[in-house]
Amino acid sequence: MQSTKIKEISYESKKIKKGTIKYKINNFPDYLKSWVKTFSGALTLFCLIILIVIPFLSTEQSYVEFFLPHFTLAMIFAILAASWDLLTGISGQISFGQSIFFGIAGYLCAYLIDYQGFPIWLSIIIGTAGAVFFSLIIGIPALRLKGPYLALGTLVFSIILLKLFLLGSLSEWLFGSEGISGLPKMSESSVLTYFIVFITMIITFIAIIQISKSKLGTIFKSIRDDETGSEASGINTTKYKIIAFMLSGVFAGIAGTYYALYNTAVNPTGNFGVTISFFAILMASLGGLATITGSAMGAFFFIFVEYILIELGAADYVQLIFALTLILVVRFADRGILKPTLERLKDLWDVLLGK
């Protein structure tokens, strides 16, 4: 029945399409030139150049030992926030459980390094894989919950996991409230650490953005926009929701292992606390839900503001202020603050370029 239809359709469009990666690679120099001319291209390039240059701005010890690691931390959080944006912003699965992947990966990685003498990179990989595997175990009952139920469910799972590691005699088996300490750093040179995290962040963002633009991304968004409609279009929504969870788990897990190495220690409150999930949500929401790149903006904004608040002597109030920030952002600026600000700048840019 469909064969008549197919014959009517032209085969011309087998030509390589403009947006695909093949096209970009084939025509690399030209593509780059036209990309840089766009506002987002130029801005991204500008930010990337700044990020590359930052480690070399000073060789003073206070700068290298204190200031630079803050940027590294921002990038670790950017990866975490982007993992949440993929799950909630793109796939519509409201999750308060990023701390689950983050903590499990961090603990597993720490355990392997400290107690089993595994090399760092192997521990990172296994730690992340462990987090993904665990996400599968939780995901199967959890995905019977939809929307707000899933939100509460993931929150509750994360709190119980925290309690598991923190309280009761079971936690003794899991290193108790002190956790594991004495981990090595990712590298003795904080500049090298910075670049390792930087490259991971770039790869993460490229990967997530490409997923978002791909057919898989379209399916994710269809589940987000209308799950019943997606199911009625023949999509096995449960399978794709699990995939979304696992992908989110990969990146959150990587962030978790990096965080463990950044702090050279893991402990229940620091790695499994609700605060971790809160940070992911805050940063992604600040930057703009479903924008992915907004997560990076949100993360740097957060680290910057936190630094200022600490300098002003308000260290205790940091989380409270950010809680208020989240409330205000969700209430008044559901597209985030940073992306719309960028769009205003883009309009300015267009005006300046005389368009």
Partner 1 sequence: MGIILEVKNLTKKFGGLTAVNDFSFEIKRGEFVGLIGPNGAGKTTVFNLISGRDKPSSGSIRFDGVNITGLKPYKIVNLGIARTFQLVRSFKFLSLLDNISVSCLSKRGKAVSKKIGTEEYASSILTSVGLVDKATIPPVVLPHGDLRKLQIGKAIGTNPELLLLDEPFSGLSHEEKVGITDLIKKLHADGVTIFMTGHVLRELMTLVPRVIAMHQGKFIIDGSPEEVANNKIVLEAYLGRGAGFA
Partner 2 sequence: MAGEIINFLFTGTLSGAYISLIALGYSLVYGVGHIMNLSHGSFFMLTGYLLLWFMNFFYDFLWLSVLLSIVIVTTIGGLAYILLIKPLQETSVGVVLITFGLAFGIEQYVLIISGTDSFAINSYLLVQGYTEIFGYRMINQFILLIVTSLLIVSTFALFINKSKLGKSIRAVSQDREAATLMGINSNRILLYTVMISAFLASIAGFLYLPAAALSGPSMGFSSLTSAFAVVILGGMGSLIGSVVGSYIVGFVTSYTINFIPNGPSWAHLIPIIIIIMMLLIRPQGLFGKKELM
Contact positions toward partner 1, by CB under 8 A? 1-2, 4-6, 8-11, 13-14, 17, 215, 218-219, 221-222, 224-226, 228-237
Q: Which of 70, 163, 185, 346 binds partner 2 (CB under 8 A)?
A: 163
Structure tokens given for 228: 């019943």
288: left (phi over 0), alpha (psi -120 to 50) or beta: left
Site for partner 2 contains 354 (CB under 8 A): no
DSSP, residue by residue, 161-226: HHHHHHSTTHHHHTTTTT-EE-PPPS-SSHHHHHHHHHHHHHHHHHHHHHHHHSHHHHHHHHHHH-
236: left (phi over 0), alpha (psi -120 to 50) or beta: beta
Q: What is the spatial distance between Cα 84 and Cα 71, in angstroms, rounded to a whole number?
A: 20
159 binds, among partner 2, partner 1, none (CB under 5 to 8 A by kind): partner 2
Residues 6+ apart with CB under 8 A from 78: 201, 205, 283, 295, 296, 298, 299, 300
Structure tokens given for 160: 């119980």
Site for partner 2 contains 168 (CB under 8 A): yes
Site for partner 2 contains 199 (CB under 8 A): no
Ranges within 131-160 binding partner 2 (CB under 8 A) = 141-142, 144-149, 151-153, 155-157, 159-160
**Nearest CA among 267, 271, 248, 71 for reference residue 171:** 267
**Nearest CA among 46, 17, 65 for reference residue 214:** 17
Q: Report the run of H or E that residue 266 belongs to, with start and end.
A: strand 265-266
* Closer of 18 and 331 to partner 2 (Cβ): 331
243 binds, among partner 2, partner 1, none (CB under 5 to 8 A by kind): none
x/- track of binding to partner 2 for residues 278-297 (CB under 8 A): x--x---x------------
Q: Which of 316, 352, 353, 354 binds partner 2 (CB under 8 A)?
A: 316
Q: Which of 274, 305, 309, 333 binds partner 2 (CB under 8 A)?
A: 274
* Closer of 88 and 222 to partner 2 (Cβ): 88
Q: At closest approach, how far in Å is the CB of 249 from partner 1?
A: 23
Q: Which of 50, 167, 308, 348 binds partner 2 (CB under 8 A)?
A: 167
* Closer of 161 and 219 to partner 1 (Cβ): 219
x/- track of binding to partner 2 for residues 55-94 (CB under 8 A): ---------------------------------x---x-x
Q: What is the spatial distance between Cα 199 and Cα 120, in angstroms, rounded to a whole number?
A: 17
Q: What is the spatial distance between Cα 221 and Cα 224, in angstroms, rounded to a whole number?
A: 5
Residue matched to tokens 């701390």: 99
Which residues of the chain form contacts with partner 2 (CB under 8 A)? 88, 92, 94, 96, 141-142, 144-149, 151-153, 155-157, 159-160, 163-164, 167-170, 274, 278, 281, 285, 316-317, 319-320, 323-324, 326-327, 330-331, 334
